[in-house]
Amino acid sequence: MNPLLSTAPLPLFDQIHPEHVAPAIETLLAKASEALETVTTPTFPSQWEAIARELDVATEKLGIAWGAVSHLKSVADTPELRAAYNAMLPSVTDFWTRLGADERLFAKYKAIDVQTLNTEQRQAHKNAIRNFVLGGADLAGAQRERFAAIQDQQAALGQKFSENTLDATDAFSYYATAPEMAGVPEDVQQAALAAAQADGKEGYKLTLKMPCYLPVMQFAHSSDLRATLYRAFVTRASDQADAATQKYDNTQGIRDILSLRQEEAALLGYPNFGALSLVPKMASSPEAVISFLRDLGAKARPFAEQDLADMRTFARQHLQLTDPQAWDWPYIGEKLKEARYAFSEQEVKQYFTFPKVLAGLFKIAETLFDLVITRDRAPVWNANVEFYRIERAGPQGLQLVGQFYLDPTARNGKRGGAWMDEVVTRWLRPDTQQVQTPVAQLVCNFADGVEVDGKKQPALLSHDDVITLFHEFGHGLHHMLTQVNEHDVSGISGVEWDAVELPSQFMENFCWEWNVLRHMTSHVQTGEPLPRALFDKMVAARNFQSGLQTLRQIEFALFDMLLHTSHNPQDDFLPLLNQVRAEVAVVHPPQWNRAAHTFSHIFAGGYAAGYYSYKWAEVLSADAYAAFEETAGPDGLPNLETGRKYRQAILEAGGSRPAMESFKAFRGREPTLDALLRHQGMAS
């Protein structure tokens, strides 16, 4: 009766409770361990299919069940679920560490005759041999034991970092008065008023969740209110937080994580964790990454300096701000954009109702990639979650290609940000000889619709929210449209980390195409589509402050890489961050800013010594999209043949070959910086 042990094709998310976690995971761990022992006996054949049928089937069941628990902890966290997850985390981590370092299994894989493998299997086998080495399979004795202990400790520390970040975010609330809320968008005010009333409090409840925090920083006239929220936001989970939340301080956790990573790298024979991290990535070395970032930073800096000068002048002349503080810049930037381009984000937002945007997203995906997307049914974890199926016409009618969950709204117990994760991976199963349908989860944190005159309006998205939705759907398409049958190189599996953002950032470009955008807008009150004149203003403002935004990403990426190469983990990491800011940034935050303490991407999210991937993937995606610009029809609509070529070369190929080979199969050459600089208005 345990839902985590169900043989249903999809997880029973609505039935999974904390008390199910330990019994199910212990059972699946035992079966996976038994399978490992079976395939590593001397008499078991060193054959790809035989190992997959016994071991991969067992580990996949464990992975799907643990993935469901991890997912629920991210989107529906409770103290009970957290305790159940943390209780099993050491055992799960220990199993995967043992599996990846098992010298008997490593020997079996090395003994496989690669001449008997197909192209996909050869790539998976090559990756497996590499991963065994990175997993410590060549270590012995005390070194092997220490390596395993490091993995356990890192998993626990990463989980604690994530918990502290979520708890520190959820712990803050501020009840603002009506005068303080002047300038804040009406839908945000309505949501804050309802939240305060639900707490039995007067005023407007403000939180540090993005749908609330960002509009306040951009639009609230009160500098004092912005300062209050800014200080709370940038000191979360740090030594600078208020006394009530200092128990969530991540300072020591960061130092411990960095020390363990350095020790892991040394055990595996690498000079630092940065070098270790790049082994399965496209980039050749930390030095190459640092050079790439500094080169791009040098190109962007003159534009960033002009962005800052423009804001200072505007603030002095129009806002009577002669000495802007860190919490003033988002407000100044928004006011300058309104003045320069004669529109506001709030005006644009009225046209982007969530249902209409979603329909527009589906339309472009269906047209470009020859798909049919419809609602489907599945057990879900929240009433706001929707489930869809993706099909394509075939000889026997519509054929199922993939399925996905969509969880769009922010709420307590759900971690911030947006992400795609796989639920089930496409695989020609060795146990049934049936192709398994890939399933994805797309998670965002948009504001929910608010009640107006007793009627709930559809949720309104900013244009940035629209871009986020397209981004995550791009990841989903990469996972779901794959035609690869080998599990470990299917979809996003096996794709180099610094190339995995290509399909997601590629999809963002369509948010700037009139022939796409006009089909996904409907004014929340009148139903009228977005006026062309307003769209033209948005396009004119597209690269507004692109120099500043580029330098901010480079600041994060350079800090990340230097932190994992030249930094001594025992030293305070804040001086390094200040050093990077002195080199890169043109806007400098207060000394008490502790942004690193919630940098979940690198301390709890898999981007350690890999945050540069976002900028590198922007190069790939901009160059890929340039192919659509070059082949667009007279009406500006994308060329369907180019869409087919992109689908086959990039999306369907998944991780079955190196990402550079896939890119060259699409573009006929290696990528260049030209398209990115042009798209961001920084071409020389």
The Cα 641–Cα 627 span in angstroms is: 11
Q: What would you report as the CA-atom Rg of the chain, rounded to the nearest whole angstrom?
A: 25
Location of structure tokens 């890929």: 624
Q: Which of 225, 518, 519, 185 is nearest to 344 (CA)?
A: 185
- Residue 289 CB neighbours (<10 A): 28
Structure tokens at 679: 């798209």
Task: Report residue 436: phi and psi, to 5°.
Answer: -85, 135
Residues designated catalytic:
472
* 8 A C-beta contact, residue 573 and residue 603: no
3-class SS of residue 319: coil
* 200 backbone φψ class: left, alpha, beta (φ>0; ψ -120 to 50): left
Location of structure tokens 């305060």: 196
Which amino acid type is present at position 202? E
Burial of 582 (0-12, 13-18, 19+ CB in 10 A): exposed
The Cα 514–Cα 627 span in angstroms is: 18
Burial of 526 (0-12, 13-18, 19+ CB in 10 A): exposed
Alpha helices in 409-545 (DSSP H): 463-480, 502-508, 514-517, 532-540
DSSP assignment of 493-510 equals TT--TTTTTHHHHHHHGG
